Amino acid sequence: MANFEIEGEMTSQMFNERFLAALDSINEGSMEKVAAAASQMTRRKLREDAISPAIIPHEDVTNADLDYFLDERIGIICEMEPDSYGAKTISFEDTADTVPYYGVKYVLEFYANTTPEWTKNVDRLRTYRGDLREIITDNSLRDLSRQKDVKFFKLVDSIVGVKRGGISDAGLEQNVVYGGRLNRDNFISSTMLLRDRQLLNGVFVVNARTWTEFARWKREEMGGDFSQDLVLKGNKAWETARMFDVDFIVTMKHDLVPNGVMYQFTKPNYLGRAGVLQKPTMYVKKDKDILRFSCREKLGVAIANVAGVQKVTFAALANATGGDGRLTPNEISNYFDNGVDPGSKF
């Protein structure tokens, strides 16, 4: 694999020319992510990094850490703190009960995420003025980051159960619904859900629209003049995304974290383990004039203490428009065609 580094000032076009020249010596290999530089391309949207590693930190894993399985799975056998039976009061003449104990074990299994294999004729790349490092690395890495979160929140949803207000497989109410909007009363109540299970609050996850609900809190709810600061400064009024001693992750991935939904997680050491067997790597192959490249990573996430996960829905926000007062097409038609006052609904 050709090794090419950026030294000093270099325009995107200069880099592209060096990149094209280096392709002649490429047979097959991998290229670690290089720092993304400013691009002349017009971006389609803002792309986020993965948020799941901020919930369960991903530790590096080597082959020596892997355990042997008869079915040749790739994974690690992890241990979980055993439960205890407590203590009791006895008389001086009594002896303690005999109870066998054992450690609970679970498997951290690894899987691969990959982008499609992109193909391009190298001659078609000669006129590009955009930074090819971004074209083939930045977006692919963001796509891997997204898939990492897709896999994680599917796991979380399978734990809490799909039925709102129902009981999870663990026998817990882990998919609860509060009526109305995200106000101070129901938010405070929600912060006790994990604590009622003798677990600490770790990090809560909401999307950007749900987070802005805190800006609706008036002075009597927010306390002091902070509600005024939110009006004048917007999100800059927050030094950190933190409310009532709880840290928040605010995401733009509204399809993974819907409007009006708040995922709650306990501290990582009470939750599970996550590991990275292979960091995101770009594989490049040149066959005559055709360039093929794809990005791949190998990782695993295991939530062992399923009681440490909670999903909360605030009913007034959980609809297509986020509960912000916008009218549906039928309501708009009734208002303009029939003179119905839509304000009466709200």
Q: Is the dihedral of CA 197, 199, 200, 205 positive or negative?
A: negative
pLDDT of amino acid 153: 96
* Residue type for position 282: M
pLDDT of amino acid 219: 65
Q: Is the dihedral of CA 87, 105, 59, 204 positive or negative?
A: negative
Neighbours of 290 (CB within 10 A): 11
pLDDT of amino acid 216: 75
Determine how β-strand 104-109 pairs with β-strand 272-287.
unpaired
Q: Give, rounded to a whole angstrom, the gap between the first and last alpha carbons of the chain.
A: 63
d(CA 28, CA 284): 6
- CA atoms within a 13 Å half-sphere pointing along the CA-CB vector of 147: 19
d(CA 235, CA 119): 42
d(CA 77, CA 151): 20
Per DSSP (E only), the strands in 214-303 are 242-243, 246-251, 261-266, 272-287, 290-303
Q: Please report where in the chains the tokens 């999903």 appear, as a residue.
A: 311
- Collapsing DSSP to helix, strand or coil, 173 comes out as coil
Residuewise pLDDT in 10s, the chain (346 residues): 333 333 344 454 555 555 555 444 443 343 333 333 334 566 666 678 889 999 999 999 999 999 988 888 899 999 888 777 777 777 878 888 877 777 788 899 999 999 988 888 888 877 777 666 666 777 888 888 899 999 999 999 999 998 888 889 989 999 999 887 888 888 889 999 999 999 999 999 999 888 888 777 766 666 655 545 544 444 554 445 677 788 898 898 999 999 889 999 999 999 999 999 999 888 888 888 888 888 899 999 999 999 999 999 988 777 645 456 666 677 667 766 665 555 554 4
* Residue type for position 187: F
Residues 6+ apart with CB under 8 A from 98: none
d(CA 136, CA 224): 49
DSSP string, 284-310: EEEETTEEEEEEEEEEEEEE--GGGEE
Judge whether 184 and 217 are in contact, CB under 8 Å: yes
Q: Tokens for 223, please give them.
A: 């306390």
